[in-house]
Every structure is written in structure tokens, then in C-alpha cells.
């Protein structure tokens, strides 16, 4: 019986996911790489965060998004699963906005981190 949990996300852009994890200071390995779980079980994921207890966290493409794959009983991160996903998702959104706006010729004119944890971005594009 598998102990792995698969948690759906809205994450579809791998470079933005990797940038979000790096910004959080999370060390990760590029996949495909095995996600280690209970009694030696594994799943393969595109991004794997190894934990000291040998039970990993992975982000695996399910055909439409990168879902989080982990044995939640052995979660060993400073944030709860919900807190971790919230922080990853915010960083992912931030990096996706930067990347997509840059593709369209926009530059960040102003960036403000608010006390509630939200980020306010103002982008602009000069045209001749």
C-alpha cells in the first residue's frame, strides 16, 4: 500500500517552479529523479527535494500540471505542507509574471513587498 500523497497545484511552468524553490532557499535536484518514500517505494518526478530523513518531496508532471508528491507522514520542512505550497505558489506566480511580461517587452518599474506578504509589481513598456 502506497503512502504517497499527490497534491494538485496550478503549477505548469517548470523554470518558474525552479526559480521559486531557489528563492525560498530550497535545494532541489533536476529530474527525472526518484522520490523516496515508505519502505523503499519510489515515484519519479521532474523536481525532487531530498529530506534528511530519506523521504523526499517531488513535483511530478501529471499531464496538465506539476503535482506535489510526498509521503506526508514524514514531512520534514520548516513550513507545513499548506504553508510550503502557498510560498512555492506565490514565488511561482511572481516568476511567471516576470517571465511573461519580459517576453512581451515589459520591464519592472516598481516592486513593493507588503506587510501581508503580497507583492505589488508595476511593469511598463516603452514604445517609439
Mean pLDDT by 10 residues, the chain (128 residues): 85 95 94 90 94 94 95 90 94 93 90 88 83
Number of structural domains the chain divides into: 1
pLDDT of the residue at 2: 63
Sign of the CA dihedral 10, 15, 16, 22?
positive
pLDDT of the residue at 90: 93
Facing residues of 5 across strands? 70
pLDDT of the residue at 93: 94
Give the whole-angstrom CA distance, residue 17 versus residue 8: 14
pLDDT of the residue at 128: 64
Decide: 7 and 84 in contact? Cβ < 8 Å: no
pLDDT of the residue at 43: 92
pLDDT of the residue at 55: 93
Facing residues of 120 across strands? 112
Domain residues for the domain of 37 are 5-124
pLDDT of the residue at 116: 87
Amino acid at each position: 500500500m502506497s503512502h504517497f500523497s499527490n497534491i494538485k497545484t496550478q503549477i505548469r511552468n517548470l523554470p518558474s517552479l525552479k526559480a521559486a524553490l531557489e528563492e525560498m532557499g530550497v535545494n532541489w535536484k533536476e529530474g527525472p529523479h526518484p522520490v523516496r518514500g515508505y519502505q523503499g517505494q519510489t515515484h519519479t518526478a521532474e523536481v525532487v527535494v531530498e529530506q534528511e530523513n530519506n523521504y523526499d518531496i517531488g513535483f511530478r508532471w501529471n499531464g496538465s500540471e506539476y503535482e506535489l508528491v510526498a509521503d506526508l507522514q514524514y514531512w520534514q520542512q520548516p513550513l507545513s505542507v499548506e504553508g510550503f505550497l502557498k510560498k512555492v505558489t506565490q514565488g511561482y506566480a511572481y516568476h511567471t509574471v516576470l517571465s511573461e511580461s519580459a517576453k512581451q517587452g515589459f520591464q519592472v518599474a516598481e516592486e513593493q513587498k507588503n506587510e501581508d506578504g503580497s507583492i505589488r509589481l508595476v511593469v511598463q513598456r516603452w514604445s517609439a
